[in-house]
């Protein structure tokens, strides 16, 4: 590979650097994006893909419109390649220490829609302690990350509600509670309050939750026989305060987020009429990463950041 380190002697004559290339190609499903991720030119990536196709006797990536899709063989290889690379990383880092001030490590973090504030606070702290470390939010929390015992191989950390149970190790890092947000002129507001009857009659905006994620607010109002009339849904919590501004919509969002953006969005924050409903955030990681010094540092930093913002 031009401009890169000398090839590593491989198994059966195959350059083991191709394992990294294969991981990028299968993960990005695009030759150009995979090349950009590895800082390799498109001709170099195309040549590597040709060698991989010859080795496996399969196309691996086939064009579908403007994008590529994985062949069945490639889909089977995907988790195995990631696991193999993780094993290599673990072997090479066994005796290494992590130095935050000088590290150029890139952490891949899968986040749920409610994790934006936790991630923002973490980024501020990481920038102070490890200015050359990069945090990349990689993939939303999907069923694929939760259903397979290899799902957590695809990221360093997964930040998600505690109700989700991916196949890995986890620890609680964040507690919050739900409040409602609405435009100050919302006709359903009465002296800045919403009653249960108001919630039953008002139009709602709500977040689309991943499969299997608990919906604690929906469960709380269902206990009062209320099924909210959801007129609009969003992919994450952050959009909801801005979406309800200037409308008669109401929405339930985590309190920290609501108070953080209330002034910018021009909305008011309202106590729910059914009492407090807690929301918790858990950090998950694959057991094979449990002894990674860099990831241990990141988890510790995340816990310290969460405690400072409690």
What CA–CA distance (Å, rounded) separates 230 from 172? 30
> Which H or E run includes 47?
helix 42-56
Strands (DSSP E) found in 36-168:
61-64, 67-70, 106-111, 134-140, 157-161
Q: Which residue has the higher pLDDT, 162 or 160?
A: 160
**283: nearest Cα among 200, 178, 168, 159:** 159
- The class level of CATH for 175-279 reads alpha beta
What is the structure's pLDDT at 245? 96
Structure token pair of residue 237: 């919590």
CB atoms within 10 A of CB 254: 23
Return the SS3 of 169. Answer: strand
Model confidence at 173, in pLDDT bands (50, 70, 90)?
Answer: confident
Lowest mean pLDDT among 80-84, 104-108, 224-228: 80-84
Rounded to two decimals, the pTM is 0.62
pLDDT digits (tens, 9 = 90+) for 226-284: 999 999 998 778 899 999 999 999 999 999 889 989 999 999 999 999 989 998 888 88
**Domain residue spans of the chain:** 11-92, 109-162+285-308, 175-279
Q: Comparing 143-147, 174-178, 278-282, which segment has the lowest mean pLDDT?
A: 143-147
Number of C-beta neighbours around residue 308 at 10 A: 9
Rounded distance, CA 215 to CA 161, Å? Answer: 10
Predicted confidence at residue 73, as pLDDT, reads: 87
**Do β-strands 106-111 and 157-161 pair in parallel, antiparallel, or remain unpaired?**
parallel
Give mean pLDDT, residues 112-130.
79
Give the integer Cα–Cα distance in Å for 176 and 280: 6
Q: Token match 């004559």: residue?
A: 13
Rounded distance between C-alpha atoms, residue 292 and residue 297, angstroms: 9
100 alpha carbon, distance to own chain's centre: 22
Give the per-residue pLDDT at 7: 37
Q: Is the pLDDT of residue 2 over 50?
A: no
Q: Is residue 151 a contact partner of residue 104, using CB atoms and an 8 Å limit? A: no
Distance of CA 306 to the CA centre of its chain: 17
| Structure token pair of residue 107 | 């952490």
pLDDT at 156 over 60: yes
Sign of torsion over alpha carbons 306, 115, 223, 269: positive
Instruction: Give percent of the chain above pLDDT 90.
Output: 30
Eight-class DSSP state of 239: H
Class of domain 11-92: mainly alpha
pLDDT digits (tens, 9 = 90+) for 183-229: 999 999 988 899 999 999 999 999 887 666 668 898 999 999 999 99
């Amino acid at each position: 590979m031009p401009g890169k380190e000398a090839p590593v002697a491989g198994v059966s004559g195959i350059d083991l650097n191709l394992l990294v290339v294969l991981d990028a190609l299968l993960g990005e499903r695009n030759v150009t994006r995979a090349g950009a991720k590895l800082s390799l030119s498109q001709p170099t990536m195309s040549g590597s893909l040709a060698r991989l196709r010859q080795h496996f006797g399969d196309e691996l990536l086939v064009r579908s419109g403007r994008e590529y899709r994985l062949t069945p063989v490639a889909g089977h290889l995907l988790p195995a390649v990631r696991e193999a690379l993780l094993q290599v990383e673990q072997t090479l880092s066994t005796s290494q220490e992590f130095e935050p001030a000088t590290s150029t490590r890139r952490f891949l973090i899968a986040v749920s829609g409610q994790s934006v504030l936790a991630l923002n606070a973490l980024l501020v702290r990481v920038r102070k302690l490890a200015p050359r470390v990069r945090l990349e939010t990689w993939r939303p929390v999907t069923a694929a990350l939760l259903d397979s015992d290899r799902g957590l191989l695809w990221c360093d950390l997964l930040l998600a509600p505690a109700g989700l149970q991916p196949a890995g190790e986890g620890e609680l890092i964040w507690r919050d509670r739900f409040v409602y947000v609405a435009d100050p002129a919302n006709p359903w507001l009465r002296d800045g309050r919403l009653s249960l009857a108001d919630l039953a009659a008002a139009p709602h905006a709500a977040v689309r939750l991943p499969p299997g994620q608990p919906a604690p607010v929906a469960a709380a109002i269902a206990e009062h026989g209320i099924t909210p009339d959801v007129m609009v849904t969003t992919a994450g919590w952050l959009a909801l305060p801005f979406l309800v501004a200037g409308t008669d919509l109401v929405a339930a969002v985590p309190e920290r987020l609501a108070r953080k953006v209330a002034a910018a969005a021009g909305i008011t924050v309202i106590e729910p009429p059914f009492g407090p409903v807690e929301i918790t955030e858990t950090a998950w990681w694959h057991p094979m990463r449990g002894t990674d010094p860099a990831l241990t540092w990141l988890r510790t930093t995340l816990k310290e950041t969460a405690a400072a913002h409690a």
